[in-house]
Structure 1
Amino acid sequence: MRKQNLILIFILTLMPTLSGCGIIDYFYLPPGEDTAQELFEAGNDAMREKNYVAAASYYSKLKEDHPFSPNALAAELALADAYFLDEEWAAAVETYKDFENMHPRHEAIPYVLHKIGIANMKLYPSIDRATQPVQDAYSYFQRLVETYPDTEYAKDAANKMVEARAMLAKHELYVGDFYFRMGQYASALSRYREVETNYRDVPEAYDYAVNQSKIAFIKHREKRSSQKQEKREGSWKEMFDWL
């Protein structure tokens, strides 16, 4: 009995020490937050597994909870990559832009400009939509080619500039053809001449525009002549009706 009492006293004596060592906390307190390193590794694992939604979540949490961590900068770029690979083009553009604004001298800027350009082109779904994303893409590719001509991304950016110009020219022709089909020849002529003036570097579009301009001009003159004739005939008819 005395032995049992001594054991009990010994355990009670150790309790403050055990509590101080964190054993009580381990069993009764909620687990601590993930560290920046843990979040970064979890995001990288998710990227390797192509689970881009989860990866974006980990990288976002790292940025928010550990903004001064050594991994924070890498997480910013990785977050943009996660959006890009998940084909969340608008989110990718904004996140890459944020990275460029925050770190304009970073060595990854040529890569970032290239990705912004590509993502913007992806935001242009079809020829009948507004061309602002394509114009933005062209601007970023142009910056890349002019500012970082010796990088591995410059050659592809130059090719993408040609592609963007063709897309812009084809959009103008699409609108011009629409007006032409509607019989609005003056508006059609304006679009065709826009291509003639500004897209000589897109031969196929330029040649088509030159030909259509001639046809639209003739159609426009014929329509105006017909309208004038109808107006004159209408005036004579009104006069005879009055008599």
Structure 2
Amino acid sequence: MRVKHLLVISLLILISACSNSTKVDENLSEVELYQQAQKDLNGKNYSAAIAKLKALDSRYPFGRYTEQAQLELIYAYYKISDTEAVRDTANRFIRLNPDQPNVDYAYYMRGLAAFDQDQSFLARFIPLDMTTRDPGAARVSYNDFAQLTRFYPNSAYAPDAKIRMVYLRNLLAAYEAHVGVYYLERQAYIAAARRGTYIVEHFDGTPSTANGLAIMVEAYQRMGMTDLANSSLEVLKLNYPKYPAIASGTYKPMVKELADRDWFSRTIVRWVGSNNDPLPPGQTRANEDLEKRYQDALEEIPKEIKASTK
């Protein structure tokens, strides 16, 4: 079955390559190019829209529709899953138009492209645990969204970016926990203890904080560092009294359970996964129900976790 999926993917790539060779009439005016590009976007013919938007950008670099065309180009690249082109085009727009009213959209799309980078087409057919993979793209996406929310806190895209940042922070913390377990399994206890400490210091308030403490307890116990193990265990008991490893009153190694998803992570993943489409550029194409979805997501977050993410 997977072979068939790969064949379909290969066919789509070939079709995309052929469609990218779309020629644009050299006699079209700026207005005609923009109108035809809009028609292609509305018809979901993104490759044709890209060809026209690129032509408009190169032929009329100081035209009336140039800046909006550049924003639409970012959107069109996203719709064909060309993440590198999205980031390159967004970076170029930010560099050339730092004061443009809709520059926040370029920041948003840049982060969204990195966010989706690991959500590859292949991953839709081959199940992958994102918390066990190299989180490089997740870090880039988090930093991009952080810039958006810092520079443009009142942006229409800021609420969506904040929700994704919560998910990404939890993802990064979970990845660190997996690394800590990896070190425990290989008896690299000093490295495991350091990784657990890193989680507690840099990802406090995430669902993986308790896992970080548990890794510290187990690593210190196995190294015979009783005082450090006991102090870490006391912190774990005080802050997470229902943690599975201490449910019986004494610490029990929970290496296998550390890989399990918690309620909060599952909820955020489901919400983000159902909201992968970007918000279209410009006021005329804005997503009117963004605020409602943001509020709905916030209401589902437990109070103690919500407080730690403010």
Structure 1 and Structure 2 fold alike (TM over 0.5): yes
User: What's the CA shift for 1:148?
Assistant: 2.1
Q: Determine whether 1:207 maps to 2:201.
A: no
The equivalent residue for 2:201 is: 197
Higher RCO (CA-CA < 8 Å; seq separation 6+): 2
Within 5 Å, give how 1:127-206 maps onto structure 2. Answer: 127-202=131-206, 204-206=207-209
User: What's the CA shift for 1:183?
Assistant: 2.7
User: What's the CA shift for 1:68?
Assistant: 2.8
Q: Determine whether 1:41 maps to 2:45.
A: no
Counterpart CA distance in 1 for 2:94 and 2:32 is 26
Counterpart CA distance in 1 for 2:134 and 2:35 is 40
Structure 2 residue corresponding to 1:60, chosen from 36, 42, 54: 54
Counterpart CA distance in 2 for 1:171 and 1:124 is 14
The equivalent residue for 1:79 is: 73
Structure 2 residue corresponding to 1:104, chosen from 98, 101, 115: 98
User: What's the CA shift for 1:106?
Assistant: 0.7
User: What's the CA shift for 1:37?
Assistant: 2.3
Q: Given the superposition, is the C-alpha separation of residues 220 and 165 from structure 1 closer, same or farther in structure 2, using an over 3 Å criterion?
A: same
* Identical counterparts, % of pairs: 24
* SS of corresponding position for 2:209: helix
Deviations 1:192-218 (A, max 9, x none): 11101111121x200111012111222
Deviations 1:96-154 (A, max 9, x none): 11111110111102222222222221123433443232222222222222332223222
More helix by share: 1
Counterpart CA distance in 2 for 1:151 and 1:52 is 26
* SS of corresponding position for 1:104: coil
Counterpart CA distance in 2 for 1:58 and 1:89 is 19
RMSD: 2.1
User: What's the CA shift for 1:221?
Assistant: 4.2
Letter in 2 for 1:197: E
* SS of corresponding position for 1:127: helix
User: What's the CA shift for 1:77?
Assistant: 1.0
Counterpart CA distance in 1 for 2:177 and 2:188 is 14
**What residue ranges of structure 1 are gaps of 5+ in the alignment?**
1-30, 223-243
Letter in 1 for 2:50: A
Letter in 2 for 1:198: H
TM-score relative to the length of structure 2:
0.57
* SS of corresponding position for 1:67: coil
* SS of corresponding position for 1:40: helix
Within 5 Å, give how 1:87-126 maps onto structure 2. Answer: 87-125=81-119, 126=130
Counterpart CA distance in 1 for 2:70 and 2:165 is 27
Structure 1 residue corresponding to 2:45, chosen from 42, 45, 51: 51
Q: How many residues align?
A: 191
User: What's the CA shift for 1:188?
Assistant: 2.0
Structure index of larger Rg: 1
**What residue ranges of structure 2 are gaps of 5+ in the alignment?**
1-24, 120-129, 226-310
The equivalent residue for 1:25 is: none
Counterpart CA distance in 1 for 2:51 and 2:182 is 45
Asked whether the equivalents of residues 74 and 109 of structure 2 are also in contact (C-alpha less than 8 Å), the reply is no
Letter in 1 for 2:98: P
